Amino acid sequence: MSLKGKNAVVTGGGSGIGRAICLQLARDGAAIAVWDLNQAGAEETAAMIAKEGGRAIACAVDCASTQAIASAAIRTRSEFGPITVLVNNAGISNTCVFTEMTEEVWDRMIRINLKGPFLCTQAIIPDMLAAGWGRIVNISSSSTQTGATKMSHYVASKGGVIGFTKALAMEYAAHGITVNNIPPGFVDTPMLRASPVNVDAYAAGMPMKRPGKPEDIAAGCSYLCSEAANYVTGHTLSVNGGRYLS
């Protein structure tokens, strides 16, 4: 999938799924702006891309802060030019019994997982409109397809991302901009390993008998960002090993 000459922003690109997406899109030919709250992680991803001969910069960004996003966008444009590929991957996850959930816990989840993609997209989509071409991929969650106990705030935030995707797809389809989402399912990342879930035991009960890999999500993202997917918009590409079918 060739993205030669395209400039991409990947939020949450400093580790896990985001890092895999950065590496894949760089291999596809795009210049990558790695946006992450973790400066060290973003720099490590950028260094990995440079080692493979790609172009990348690392930006320390709170992707739910209008000011931080604006500053990162200015730097990205000054280094590479207009941004025409955006992957909204940055997000958080945790568990909490619904009756014990505070308003602050709920609001933080919505701010980062749903408001963040809104702010990043609003800051970058003018470049796509000017170019008459753009690719937006939002990383949602397979939990929106199945539900998840003790994660009502997380599922609500990611369900909002899917609705957001469909609405933008309708609004910008005539402008050469596609908007799609990928709901990962049980992907082996540092975030998952840090959770209370027994990863290997849970994976044994899944159709493919293994957790997903970040590279699986990156492959789907590569397709949705490519010219091969130019007639695909508003779509939910379920890269989850059939998890939500079981």
3-class SS at 232?
coil
Of the residues 154, 202, 223, 244, only one is catalytic, namely 154
Among 23, 46, 27, 26, which residue's Cα sits nearest to residue 36? 46
189: three-class secondary structure by DSSP: coil
Picking from 162, 157, 145, 175, the residue whose alpha carbon sits closest to that of residue 235 is: 162
172 is annotated as an active-site residue = no
Q: Where are the alpha helices (DSSP H) in the chain?
A: 16-27, 39-51, 66-80, 103-110, 116-131, 143-146, 152-172, 190-193, 199-204, 214-225
User: Please, are residues 34 and 46 in contact by the beta-carbon 8 Å criterion?
Assistant: yes
The count of other CB atoms within 10 Å of the CB of residue 105 is: 13
- Residues listed for the chain: 246
**124 CB contacts (<8 Å, ≥6 apart)?**
9, 73, 83, 86
Burial class (CB in 10 A: 0-12, 13-18, 19+), 149: exposed
CB of 5 closer than 8 Å to CB of 29 = yes
Please report where in the chains the tokens 């945790």 appear, as a residue: 94
Active site residues: 154
